[in-house]
Chains A and B, each alone.
Chain A
Amino acid sequence: MIDIDRGTNGRTARLRSLDLESQQDFVRGFREWMVTDMDAQIRDHSEALLQAHGVTGDRSGDVETLRAVFDPDPLIAARLRVWITNQRQMWAGLSGQLSRHRDHYLAELDRYDAMGPGSLALDPDLDIPDYCRHEIHIQPGGYVGDELSGEIYHYGTNSFYMGQNDADEFHTMLARRTARPQDGQVKRIVDLGTGIGQLAMTLKETFPDAEVLGLDVAGPMLRYAHKRAVELGLDVRFEQRLAEDSRLASDSVDIATAYILFHEVPTTVAHKICAEVFRILRPGGVFDVTDFATGALKAQAPAFATYRSWADHHFNGERWREEFVNSDFVQTLREAGFEAELQPSKVAWMTPNYVARKPL
């Protein structure tokens, strides 16, 4: 397959092969069809199945009950089959092509590591916790196991964001809607679990006078984040640290953010992260979290959404998702000392926004 510079799309380098770009275009097109046309049928079908099996009320939130209804059904099975195959096609295409040209991509990362603006601080001695050593979303190598995890993740999520990724449109929207301290002072922002840094970068664009740090456990993701920030001329500090051990000074941060981080960690670690954020935020500082529904909100979810959440955990490498969604994250924040509440979703698929403020 050809591998050449093919220019940019939005503000992201185009994939270096027309055929790979087309293969990924198919993946995205199929996913869009699956979550619209196919799921419209699946929703009605799942409701009919529940009625036929007499599953109502409290039982509609019990995964084992739902599995007994949905697992044997051919249409549901086909939905799971095509979803996982679609996911595997996405990763296999990207991982295969990028791996074949590994030297090129690694040389690019090497070239950018020491460039500015911004900075990159990797910690080769960091003890990578077991809880993140798996293939999240079945991405080959996960976030910490492949030197090209950042590139693979970024292009793979084009399908997930359905056209809101090339110019960081989705993350720009998130950044602009970030909760702010009531006194309006924003000098320092920390994005936890920043991954490839899209939120950190768009926060820097939204708050150009603030110092912005992006922390993550995954070195490969941070190297790619830094490369993109340099290309975009954004002064962001990316540092390889654990969210539960940020090594930042107490009372030194105005805004902390965590976008889809908490369902990727055990609840024991979630508690530690919240305690750490409470420590580093200054009084009046705000912790803005976007993640799945938990607690009472999760209990309101349709039965099939509960089943699909379990399937995402079971088949799609979402190791900690079930732990998280079965917790009460507002309560977790309050136990850490925050004044916490749920806000309306900032994003299209209704993922809740947890806003926590450190009391004055």
Chain B
Amino acid sequence: MEHTPTKAATDYIEHGSASYSFLPDPVVDALVQVVLELGAETWVTRRRMLVLERVMTTHGLLPDLAVETYTPTAEDAAAWRAERDRMMRSVYAALARRPGVGDAAAELAKSSNPPRRPPLNAAAAAPRAQAMGASAFDRAPRPGAAS
């Protein structure tokens, strides 16, 4: 389609302003995002608890202290650990995002099978950092950081 773009037509952030820092300090900007993700996680959990309580009460299925005294099976523990890890990626993705460097952390968080965290030593960590496009992380000055 023939069209001559005007300034207004091109002066927009094409891919969702994912890496833009609205607040002067990008870490504070990230923390605001973390707060919203935590709010979502909290409400999701609380709403499920409300549903659960209502269903179980209605059906007479919840003896006293049954929840408090339940011991998870090995399968429970593995599944809940995976769910916890998903929550970590969802809530804290913004903290792993470098302003102006795309949205690798968020893409990673959306992935159903993200790579597990490598051992905490420099040799193992370097390839992962490079894979996330963060090889220059420690060298680049952080926008807004105090000098």
Interfacial residues, chain A to chain B (CB-CB below 8 A) = 18-19, 22-23, 25-27, 29-30, 72, 74, 77-78, 80-82, 84-86, 88-89, 92-93, 95-96, 100, 127, 129-131, 134-135, 138, 140, 266, 268-269, 313-323, 326
A131 to B10, CA, bound (A): 11
**B20 nearest CB neighbor, chain A only:** A315
A337 to B126, CA, bound (A): 65
Chain A residues with CB below 8 A from B94, complex form: 85
Contact A84 B9 (CB under 8 A): no
Among A266, A313, A323, residue most surrounded by chain B Cβ atoms (within 10 Å): A266
A317 to B10, CA, bound (A): 10
Among A25, A86, A88, A131, residue most surrounded by chain B Cβ atoms (within 10 Å): A88
Segment of B42-50, B58-66, B67-75 in the binding face:
B42-50
Contact B9 A323 (CB under 8 A): yes
A93 to B47, CA, bound (A): 16
Tally A-B pairs: CB < 8 A. 113
Contact B1 A89 (CB under 8 A): no
Is B15's CB within 8 Å of the partner chain A?
Answer: yes
Contact B44 A23 (CB under 8 A): yes
Contact B32 A25 (CB under 8 A): no
**B16 nearest CB neighbor, chain A only:** A138
Contact B32 A78 (CB under 8 A): yes
Contact A78 B47 (CB under 8 A): no
Contact B12 A319 (CB under 8 A): yes
Contact A92 B110 (CB under 8 A): yes
Q: Given A19-B48, A134-B14, 17 other A-B contacts at CB below 8 A?
A: A22-B44, A22-B48, A26-B39, A26-B40, A27-B40, A30-B39, A72-B24, A81-B33, A89-B40, A127-B1, A135-B14, A138-B16, A266-B5, A266-B6, A315-B12, A315-B17, A322-B8
Please give the distance in Å from B128's CB to the nearest CB on chain A. 22
Chain B residues with CB below 8 A from A320, complex form: 8-9
Chain A residues with CB below 8 A from B48, complex form: 18-19, 22
Among A26, A74, A80, A95, residue most surrounded by chain B Cβ atoms (within 10 Å): A26
A323 to B17, CA, bound (A): 20
Q: CB-defined interface of B1-40 with A at 8 Å, one 1/0 digit per residue? A: 1111110110111111110101110000100110011011
Bin the interface of chain B by size: 35 or more
Contact A313 B22 (CB under 8 A): no
Among A22, A96, A268, A314, residue most surrounded by chain B Cβ atoms (within 10 Å): A22
Contact A30 B44 (CB under 8 A): no
Q: CB-defined interface of B101-136 with A at 8 Å, one 1/0 digit per residue? A: 000001000101000000000000000000000000
Contact A25 B12 (CB under 8 A): no
Is B78's CB within 8 Å of the partner chain A?
Answer: no
Q: Which of B14, B37, B43, B51 contacts A29 (CB 8 A)?
A: B43
**A91 nearest CB neighbor, chain B only:** B16
Among B3, B5, B51, B106, residue most surrounded by chain A Cβ atoms (within 10 Å): B3
Contact B3 A131 (CB under 8 A): yes
A72 to B48, CA, bound (A): 40
A74 with B110, Cβ < 8 A, contacts A25-B43, A269-B1, A323-B9 known:
no
Chain A residues with CB below 8 A from B39, complex form: 26, 30
Q: Which of A78, A93, A321 contacts B22 (CB 8 A)?
A: A78
A313 with B17, Cβ < 8 A, contacts A22-B44, A27-B40 known:
no
**A321 nearest CB neighbor, chain B only:** B8
A316 to B11, CA, bound (A): 12
Residue pairs across A and B with Cβ atoms less than 8 A apart, 17 shown, are A22-B43, A29-B43, A72-B24, A77-B24, A81-B22, A85-B33, A85-B94, A95-B110, A100-B112, A130-B3, A140-B16, A266-B6, A269-B1, A316-B17, A317-B12, A319-B12, A320-B8
Contact A19 B17 (CB under 8 A): no
Chain A residues with CB below 8 A from B1, complex form: 127, 129-131, 269
A19 to B3, CA, bound (A): 44
